[in-house]
Amino acid sequence: MEITVLAVAFIFVVLLVIMGFKMDKPKQRIARLEHRVNLIFDHLDIEEFGTAQLEAVGELARQGKKIKAIKLYREITGAGLQEAKDAVEAMPGGR
């Protein structure tokens, strides 16, 4: 009886360890991909969009210039029309 309980506990621990490794792989893959993207940005001398640029989008939205805000958001982020529209409308003053 004790051996069965120990065997089940051992199998349970082994499964938890295996699942932990499998769950960690996507995080490692994302980290590697982010590193590669940063290397590409550095090589092409591209700066990621920052808060100042997004603040300009928010300012346009607050001024009621929704179309200009959407256009600027798309230029900055490369987002599609619907994604940009949703993002601008989610900003204060965007609706």
Q: Mind listing the pLDDT tens digit for each residue in 53-94?
A: 888 898 999 999 999 999 998 988 888 999 999 999 988 766
Mean pLDDT of 12-41: 75
Domain positions in the chain are 1-48, 51-90
pLDDT of residue 80: 92
Contacts of 74 (CB under 8 A, 6+ apart): 80, 81, 84
pLDDT of residue 47: 67
CA distances from 33 to 21, 38, 39, 50 (A): 19, 9, 10, 20
5-9: long-range contacts (C-beta < 8 A, 24 or more apart)?
none
Mean pLDDT of 13-41: 75
Per-residue pLDDT for 8 more than 80?
no
CB atoms within 10 A of CB 49: 14
Whole-model pTM: value is 0.49
